[in-house]
Amino acid sequence: MEFKFIAAADIHLDSPLQGLSLYEGAPLDVLRGATREALGNLVSLAIGEKVAFVLLSGDLYDGDWKDYHTGLFLLQQLSRLREAGIKSYVIYGNHDAESRITRSLRLPDNVRVLSTKSPETIILEDFGVAIHGQGFARRDVMENLAEQYPEARKGLFNIGMLHTALSGAEGHAPYAPCTLGTLQSKGYDVWALGHVHARKVHSKEPLIWYPGNTQGRHARETGPKGCTLVAVEDGRVASFEHRDLHVVRWEVIPVNVSGQSAAVDVVDAAVAAMKSESGKGGGEVLAVRLVIEGACRAHRELVAYSEKWTAEIRVAVAAATGERAWVEKVRFMTSPEADFSILRSGSDPLSDLVRYIDGLSATDELRALLAEDIRSLKEKLPPELFQGEGAVAPDSADELPKLVEDVKAMLVRRISTSGVRK
Amino acid sequence: MRLISLDLTAYGNFTDRRLVFPGGKGLHVIYGPNEAGKSTCIRALRGLLYGIPEITPDDFLHESRRLRIGGVLLRSDGERLSVVRRKGRKDTLLGSDGQPIAEDTMRSFLGGVDRETFIRVFGMSREELLSGGRAIMEGKGSVGESLFAAGLGGADLKGLLEALELEAQGLFKPTGSLPKLNAEAKTYKDLKEKIRNLSLPPKDWEELEREVSSLEAHSRQIKDQIAQMSAQEDRLKRLRDALPVIAELKEYREKRTGLGKVKVLRQGFSTERARSQSENTRALSDEKTAQQRIGEIDAELENLILPEDLLAQEKTVQGLVEELGSILKAQKDLPRVQGQVLEAGQAARGILAELRPDLSLESAGVLRLTVERIDKIRSLADGYGKLTVRRQSAAERVSEYGQKLADAKRNLAGLPEVRDVSELERSVVVVRRRGDLERAYADATFAARSAREDVQATLKALLLWSGTLEALESLPLPPEKTIDEFEEAFDVVDDGLRKAREGLAGTKGKIEEIDGNLRTLKLAGEPPTEEDLTAARAHRERGWALVRSAWLDGKRDEAAEAALDPPLPLEQAYEKSVLNADGVADRMRREAERVAHKAGLLADRRLQEERAEDVSREIGLLEARRKDLKEEWTSRWAPAGVVPISPREMRAWMVNLKELTRKAAEVRKLDGQAKKIAEEIEGSRSVLLDRLAALGGPTPPERTSLDAILLRAEEIVRSEKDLKVRREGLLKEIEEAIKGKARAEEEERKVNEAFARWQEGWATALKGISEGLPVSAAAVFLDRCSALSKKLDDAEKDKGRIESMKQDIREFEKKVAKFTARYAPDLAGLPVDQGVREVSSRVSKAKADAASRAKLSVERASRKRDLDKARETIRQTSERLAALRREAGSETDGELLEAEARSESARSLEGKIDELTRQLLVLAAGRKLEEFAGEAEREDPDQIRQKLAEVETNLAEAQEEFGRVRQNLGASSERLRTMDGRGDAARAAQEAQETLSSLGENADRYLRLRLGAKILQVEIERYREKSQGPVLRRAAELFGLVTERRFVGLEPDYGAGDEPVLVGVRENGEKVALAGMSDGTQDQLYLALRLASLEKFSADGEPLPLLVDDALVNFDNDRARASLKVLGDLAATTQVIFFTHHQHMVHLAKEAVDGQILYIQEIVETRGRE
């Protein structure tokens, strides 16, 4: 008996991509609708590969998203599978449990949503397969769901579907926690997991893995994104391979500009790095955070006028890639080529200023200087700006040192170039 | 680090120029005029130490990659470094061997000072001192900012802080909507709203879907009902329609039965019978017509006889007729041609007589000329005319040029010689260029005069003072401040007076008012006063005393009694007095109020009177004060001889006066202008007169105007120029006349030669024909020769024609005679033309007869065929009619017609019955006919109609309902279709994310700008606290030195807002704020702060050379000298290189600085290489 199936998870349909400020030349259209297109790619792949069935291990959409059109779009895509005679098996994740759309959506008859009350087993006689799974009944499932899963069915190919924060998964809410040991103990052939967005194989025998999400949504979800195509022969996994589905590929690209003397050369280096990166993929749109590093003479200019140079880089990248790349951020992590101010212990005002700022990092004095402005911003700007991932939190322990460095560079550069020219 | 030497090997306008700084010590003054390359030197030194910038102004002479700066540096620890700097991106520092040296080596000589710091701290220019001084002033002498800025070598802190603030405000304002963040926050909010609007709540979708399926069910249900009702309606309609059909059918069946047994003839029987009969009748008529016509034709044929042999000769006869035409014509032409031959001979003879009477007609052939010869004669004759004209014109031109030459020579001799007027012309141009001086003078004097008159008039109209304009300008008037003071003083006094007088008037008014009230009271009956009551009572007491004395004591006092109330006796008088006293008391009680009022009014009046007295006193005092004031006021104006009026008016007067003074100055200026122009006019006149005199000729009279002289001069210049032009014209004419005459003579010679050649040709051409023929007769001669030839030719030709015509006639007559003899012997002997015509007519008639016979034969055959055909038809139709009669079983034709009629009736009835049966079958719609008919007959026709109406109504309602449901369903389905999973809300959410992200970036930026500004402000204050002591102390010393002890100290003090500010201290301890210092002193204060900071900076690390770029130019000599001395002192610790454009700075330096440490070198431009 030979067949293939696809496992995917964390589609987060219609979840917006984050951290991208609009600017002239940014590839706007591709971006708006990326998660939808990725799902479309998933369905096309399943049809093209003539798979037996598709497994979706939770988080079809964002929990707080209320537009029913999103559900309807999901239906349309699943209906394409139905026309091709492909069944799909779904377990709800924490987001689905929270979503109002989930409750209203009537899925086509080729889609089977597994119970959220207890583990459910479905036998596919045609393929000799048993699928075990239980979805989230509510958002914050804290118990170990895996423990209640039944033992493997003898003589069948056993698949476990689970939306879980497998122990050691950093940066994800610890829902339905479990350990690798628990999963291995069930005697299943494969475990198709969901919840963690980074693709990772935790065990090969049995195969336990996260296929990762289908489309990266911010600068921490980098690299190609998609699903896993598994081939089964004679009740054993014959092969499994990742397939790209993403429309936009996120990358964090370091650009070494050591020794560059002029800021324009740094722009060129950034463009070169971008070109090389875009050559690596399949021609998809890139969303990129550029990290400019290295000791260079342009350091002060870059840091003091980072806004200007970020804009320059964006324009140049747009021109060089034919508007096929979105520069999310440019982080200037450069250092001065020869730091005179370190050499000098002088008592001139500039040295004094530098010493003062250096001593200011993460002190209450610094927080006091910032407090009033932060407060007035918070009063006027949307609260979302100061919450959650990528929030504006200048007075946090993480952000303060960078903030102070930036201010230092800005002041030193501006003072150095102010006043009369001699 | 000190600079030992600087090599400008290839840099700016320098090539291999070396500046030396012996030992690197002391004050080095480098002098060079503007453009000498001072700034280039400064750039070169910076380039040497820190590299040549990517973009440099110094590569105009030497190519960019060939730029070289060399130098030797000396570190404070004694280490030396000899290097060369080239322009480039990498390895630009080279050792003396030309090999790259690590930049670190250079850095160790720079003591941690970067390029920007070197430029700021170790460079000092005049602009820096100016802007530094101004910056301190603008910062109101803030100690912190001053020290900080001076320490930085002149940073624009105020501008910097403002820029930070401005940028921050562009990003965000706590209140506002325009800054980026505010605008984006609004956009974000709008997008959230948009997402909400675009989102489809699951509930909406569910409800709509439910609605659609319910509508669909309802729609199906109604549809079923409609189908049922339609069937019923159909059945009823069919039954209704069947009833009349059944009735009709019945009727027709009865009629058919009535006809009984009938032989029904086959279809088309009647038609066939009728056709056969009519064919038979027509055939009989045809037979008769044909027989008649055949008889007629046979009779005609018998009368036609034809001459067959003549008819065979038709073509020959036709040929004879044609030939006859031409023969007849020849016979007619013959006499005319014979005449022509005679005429031509006559004419030829005439012409020959004109040309050569000596020749006979036979030998006239000699005058038939060849074409060649005719042409030769004609061209020679033509050429003669042209030749003659040429000869004539050549002769004329020779004489014409001779005349011209003579005229021009005569004219030239009559003209005077040309004089040289170039000097005069130049002077005229110079004077003209000055413009219309006399008009300008007139204008200027007019302006001056009218201004003066204007001023004089105003002066005359000026009140309070009279005198000359000049005196006016120096009038000793009190200052405006005095006027202000007096105005105020007058105002105070006048105001007091006004108030006092108003008070007095008020008081008096009040008294009058009170009096008025009192009068009113009196008019209403004087109310008794307390005094009245007392008096009445006293009177009564007196009466009582008299009564009592008379009554109890019996004593009577007659006189007193009589006096009590004369003339009443005592008893009456007493009684009256009692009544009177009671009356007064009663009135007083009754009129207590009026009494009190009156008492009040009286008291008031007294008070007002007192007040009026006080005010009058005050008025007296004020008037005295005003008088004093006025005297003093008048005395202030005494020096000017003006008796002033009020200060306010005097201020206006002063304004007028000042205006007058200004105008007076203007008058002076205008006078001056006029005078200047007059001088210019005089100068111009004398120059022009000199020039005229030099040319000789009459001198203009003494008073001639400049303009007239100018015109005169210009006239002379113009006439001399004209003369020159005329002389030159005449010379040219002479030259041309000589040349023309020579050309004309040559032409005359050539023409004479050509004429001789022509005469020879002419004689040759006429030889043997008509020698001696004049040219003018040539054309006529040739014409006549040609006419003669033509006449001779014509006569020859006509003679030939006559012979051939006669021959033709004879031959034709023979041919005709032969023909008639054979075919028409009866015509022999007739003239030839008649014979031919007769034969021809006979042939024509025979031809016509033959045609008639052929036509008749054809017609006869055709008629015969018609006859045969008619007879056949008669036979056939008769047989057919007989057969038809047999078929119908009739003996006669009459019986046949009757049978036909009966058959037709039966057939029609049966047809109708069939038709109705068919209709009924359709209505039965598949049921058996009998069953259906039975059902229909059982129904009551009226009930059917009623039932049908009911069913139709129900059906219409159901259909209407159905339409409504479908419409609703359509609308709902449409709405459901738009819920198609579109991504509009998701796109808006993406947009919102983008806005949020942009907000984040801008918020970060905003906080950085704000924090930057705050940190800088804090640091300025910190720096002040730290440096105030030592730096300020040293700066105070330096300030004392450079101001030559006009100031001895510099102290922090406190400003209006309690912030620390700088003040200068004089020797006597007086503190002077910055605003109280001159611009120069402010600059020197900055210099002091700057040098104090620099000393501190140098003391803390490796000192670098201080480059001073003409910084002291704005100082006066004393302070510049003092400053140079301070720089000289500084040179002990820090090398000072002083660049200047000004020679006097060099002198000042020599005076101020010890020669041991002063080095002076000069740079001059060394543009280009050899």
Q: Which residues in chain A touch residue B163, judged by CB atoms under 8 angstroms apart?
A: 414
Residue B639: how many other CB atoms lie within 10 Å: 11
What stretch of H or E contains A113? strand A111-113
Mean pLDDT of B511-520: 87
- Which alpha helices (H) appear in B356-417, and where do they start and end? 371-413
Q: Which residues in chain A touch residue B1100, judged by CB atoms under 8 angstroms apart?
A: 345-348
Q: How far, in Å, CA of A344 to CA of A351, rounded?
A: 7
Q: Which residues in chain B touch residue A356, judged by CB atoms under 8 angstroms apart?
A: 1015, 1018-1019, 1022
Give the residue from chain A lying closest to B145, CA to CA.
Answer: A349
Mean pLDDT of A371-378: 90
Is the C-alpha dihedral spanning B711, B716, B720, B723 positive or negative? positive
Decide the pairing of beta strands B1106-1109 and B123-125: parallel
B537-558 pLDDT per residue, tens: 888 888 888 888 888 888 888 8
Whether chain B has a CB inside 8 Å of the CB on A364: the answer is no
Contact B106, B81 (CB under 8 A): yes
**Burial letters A362-376, b for 16+ CB under 10 A, else e:** eeeebeebbeebbeb
Distance of alpha carbon B229 from the chain centroid: 76
Q: Which of B1138, B1132, B1142, B1128 is nearest to B1160 (CA)?
A: B1138
- pLDDT above 50 for B864: yes
Distance of alpha carbon B1104 from the chain centroid: 61
Query: Hey, which residues does A327 pair with through a beta bridge?
Result: A288
- pLDDT above 80 for B1130: yes
- pLDDT above 90 for A116: yes
Q: Which residues in chain B touch residue A341, judged by CB atoms under 8 angstroms apart?
A: 112, 114
Give residue B217's pLDDT: 93
Q: How far, in Å, CA of B902 to CA of B905, rounded?
A: 5
Hey, what are B647's tokens? 């200060």
A118: DSSP letter: S
What is the rounded average pLDDT for all residues in chain B?
Answer: 85
Shortest Cα–Cα distance, A32 to chain B (Å): 5
Hey, what are B954's tokens? 């129900």
Residue that is written with structure tokens 């006549």 in the block: B784
Mean pLDDT of B498-523: 87
Q: Which residues in chain A touch residue B176, judged by CB atoms under 8 angstroms apart?
A: none
Mean pLDDT of B301-328: 82
Give residue B1129's pLDDT: 86
Give the residue from chain A lying closest to B989, CA to CA.
Answer: A16
Shortest Cα–Cα distance, B1146 to chain A (Å): 21
Give residue B1166's pLDDT: 53
Q: Which of B913, B936, B914, B937 is nearest to B923 (CA)?
A: B936
Give residue B124's pLDDT: 85
Give residue B1169's pLDDT: 38
A21–B1001: do the CB atoms touch at under 8 Å? Answer: yes
B1081-1125 pLDDT per residue, tens: 888 888 888 888 888 877 777 788 999 888 888 888 888 888 888
604-623 in B: which are within 8 Å (CB) of A? none
Where is average pLDDT lowest: A119-133, B196-210, B644-658? B644-658
A258-303 pLDDT per residue, tens: 877 788 889 999 999 999 988 887 888 999 999 999 888 788 788 8
Give residue A38's pLDDT: 95
Determine the Cα angle at B403 with ends B399 and B404, to 5°: 120
Give residue A48's pLDDT: 95
Across the interface, of A103, A382, A414, the residue whose CB is closest to B185 is A382
Q: Which of B203, B254, B113, B256 is nearest to B907 (CA)?
A: B256
Instruction: Kindly indicate the confidence band of residue B924, based on its pLDDT and cuts at 50, 70 and 90.
Output: confident
Residue B192 or B832, more confident: B192
Give one word for A187, left, alpha or beta, with left for phi > 0 and alpha for psi -120 to 50. Answer: left
**What are the DSSP calls for A114-165, one per residue?**
PPSSS-EEEEETTTTEEEEE---SSS---S-GGGGSPPPPTTSEEEEEEE--
Query: Hey, which residues does B74 pair with through a beta bridge?
Result: B2, B80
Give residue A168's pLDDT: 66
- pLDDT above 60 for B748: yes
Shortest Cα–Cα distance, A193 to chain B (Å): 27
Q: Which amino acid is at A65?
A: W
- pLDDT above 70 for B845: yes
Give residue A385's pLDDT: 87
| Residues contacting residue A298 through CB under 8 Å, at least 6 positions apart | A257, A260, A261, A262, A263, A265, A266, A334
B1097–A69: do the CB atoms touch at under 8 Å? Answer: no
Task: Report helix angle B1117-1130 to B1143-1152, nearest 10.
Answer: 60
Q: How far, in Å, CA of B638 to CA of B1101, rounded?
A: 74
Mean pLDDT of A104-125: 92
Mean pLDDT of B812-835: 81
Contact A399, A393 (CB under 8 A): yes
Give residue B559's pLDDT: 83
- pLDDT above 60 for B257: yes
**Most confident stretch, B139-143, B461-465, B673-677, B828-832:** B673-677
**Most confident stretch, A16-30, B397-411, B649-663, B1089-1103:** B397-411
Hey, what are B1011's tokens? 């924090």
205-264 in A: which are within 8 Å (CB) of B? 261-262
Instruction: Kindly indicate the confidence band of residue A340, based on its pLDDT and cuts at 50, 70 and 90.
Output: low
B894: DSSP letter: H
Q: Which residues in chain A touch residue B188, judged by CB atoms under 8 angstroms apart?
A: 382
Q: Which residues in chain B touch residue A64, judged by CB atoms under 8 angstroms apart?
A: none
Q: Which residues in chain A touch residue B114, judged by CB atoms under 8 angstroms apart?
A: 340-341
**Exposed, middle or buried by CB within 10 Å (0-12, 13-18, 19+), for B441?**
buried
How far from B993 is each of A69, A73, A100, A246, B982, CA to CA, in Å? 19, 21, 22, 19, 19
Across the interface, of B1007, B1097, B1100, the residue whose CB is closest to A370 is B1007
A79-100 pLDDT per residue, tens: 999 999 999 999 999 999 988 8
Q: Which residues in chain A touch residue B998, judged by CB atoms under 8 angstroms apart?
A: 21-22
Task: Report helix angle B371-413 to B706-765, nearest 10.
Answer: 150
- pLDDT above 90 for A131: yes
- pLDDT above 60 for A422: no
Whether chain A has a CB inside 8 Å of the CB on B123: the answer is yes
Q: Of A11, A35, A64, A67, which to mutate for an interface test with B (greatest number of B Cβ within 10 Å)?
A: A67
Mean pLDDT of B314-342: 84
Shortest Cα–Cα distance, B102 to chain A (Å): 12
- pLDDT above 60 for B1135: yes
Residue B937 CA neighbour count, 13 Å, CB half = 11
Q: How far, in Å, CA of A314 to CA of A308, rounded?
A: 10
Q: Of B114, B172, B1034, B1104, which to mutate for an interface test with A (greatest number of A Cβ within 10 Å)?
A: B114
Where is average pLDDT lowest: A165-174, B836-845, B878-887, B963-972? A165-174
Instruction: Kindly indicate the confidence band of residue A338, based on its pLDDT and cuts at 50, 70 and 90.
Output: low
Shortest Cα–Cα distance, A343 to chain B (Å): 5
Q: How many CB pairs under 8 A join A and B?
A: 271
Determine the Cα angle at B138 with ends B132 and B144, to 5°: 75
What percentage of chain B reaches a pLDDT higher than 90? 9
Across the interface, of B149, B189, B981, the residue whose CB is closest to A72 is B981
Give residue A84's pLDDT: 94
B201-235 pLDDT per residue, tens: 888 888 998 999 999 999 999 999 999 999 888 88
Decide the pairing of beta strands A200-204 and A207-210: antiparallel
Whether chain A has a CB inside 8 Å of the CB on B1087: the answer is no
What is the rounded average pLDDT for all residues in chain A?
Answer: 88
Mean pLDDT of B758-768: 81
Residue B587 CA neighbour count, 13 Å, CB half = 15
Query: Is residue B1053 classed as helix, strand or coil in its secondary structure?
Result: strand
Q: Which residues in chain B touch residue A36, judged by CB atoms under 8 angstroms apart?
A: 983, 986
Determine the Cα angle at B235 with ends B231 and B236, to 5°: 120
Mean pLDDT of B863-880: 88
B181–A380: do the CB atoms touch at under 8 Å? Answer: yes
Sequence-ordered strand ranges (E) for B105-154: 123-125
**What are the DSSP calls for A172-227, one per residue?**
S---S-B-HHHHHHTT-SEEEEES--S-EEEEETTEEEE---SS--STTS-B--EE
Contact A94, A173 (CB under 8 A): yes
Q: How far, in Å, CA of B289 to CA of B344, rounded?
A: 81
1104-1163 in B: which are within 8 Å (CB) of A? 1107, 1109
Residue B826: how many other CB atoms lie within 10 Å: 8
A422–B1109: do the CB atoms touch at under 8 Å? Answer: yes
Where is average pLDDT lowest: A229-233, A325-329, B138-142? B138-142
What are φ and ψ of residue B1136, in 5° steps? -120, 125
42-81 in A: which are within 8 Å (CB) of B? 65-76
289-328 in A: which are within 8 Å (CB) of B? 307, 328
B935-959 pLDDT per residue, tens: 888 888 888 888 889 999 999 999 9
B451-466 pLDDT per residue, tens: 888 888 888 877 777 7
Hey, what are B520's tokens? 């009113």
Shortest Cα–Cα distance, B202 to chain A (Å): 5
| Residues contacting residue A297 through CB under 8 Å, at least 6 positions apart | A260, A261, A262, A336, A337
Q: Of B115, B166, B184, B1008, which to mutate for an interface test with A (greatest number of A Cβ within 10 Å)?
A: B1008
* ω into B567 cis (within 30 of 0): yes
Give residue B159's pLDDT: 83
What stretch of H or E contains A124? strand A120-124
Instruction: Kindly indicate the confidence band of residue A347, based on its pLDDT and cuts at 50, 70 and 90.
Output: low
Query: Is residue A88 classed as helix, strand or coil in its secondary structure?
Result: strand
Determine the Cα angle at B822 with ends B819 and B825, to 5°: 100
B599-645 pLDDT per residue, tens: 888 888 888 888 889 889 989 998 999 899 889 888 888 888 888 88
Across the interface, of B992, B1008, B1023, the residue whose CB is closest to A403 is B1008
Q: How far, in Å, CA of B188 to CA of B452, rounded?
A: 77
158-217 in B: which are within 8 Å (CB) of A? 159-160, 163-164, 172, 174, 181-182, 185, 188-189, 192, 195, 198-206
A156: DSSP letter: S
Whether chain A has a CB inside 8 Å of the CB on B102: the answer is no
B13-38 pLDDT per residue, tens: 888 888 888 877 788 999 888 777 88
Instruction: Kindly indicate the confidence band of residue A170, based on its pLDDT and cuts at 50, 70 and 90.
Output: low
Q: How far, in Å, CA of A380 to CA of A360, rounded?
A: 28
Decide the pairing of beta strands A325-336 and A285-296: parallel
Whether chain A has a CB inside 8 Å of the CB on B107: the answer is yes
Query: Hey, which residues does A88 pair with through a beta bridge?
Result: A54, A111
Give residue A343's pLDDT: 44
> Could you give the strand order of the β-sheet that contains B1158-1162, starting from the edge strand earlier in sequence?
B123-125, B1106-1109, B1136-1140, B27-31, B1158-1162
Across the interface, of B172, B981, B983, the residue whose CB is closest to A75 is B981
Whether chain B has a CB inside 8 Å of the CB on A362: the answer is no
What are φ and ψ of residue A209, in 5° steps? -160, 155
A22–B127: do the CB atoms touch at under 8 Å? Answer: no
**Burial letters B1094-1110, b for 16+ CB under 10 A, else e:** bbbbbeebbbbbbbbbb
Give residue A110's pLDDT: 92
Decide the pairing of beta strands B2-11 and A226-233: unpaired
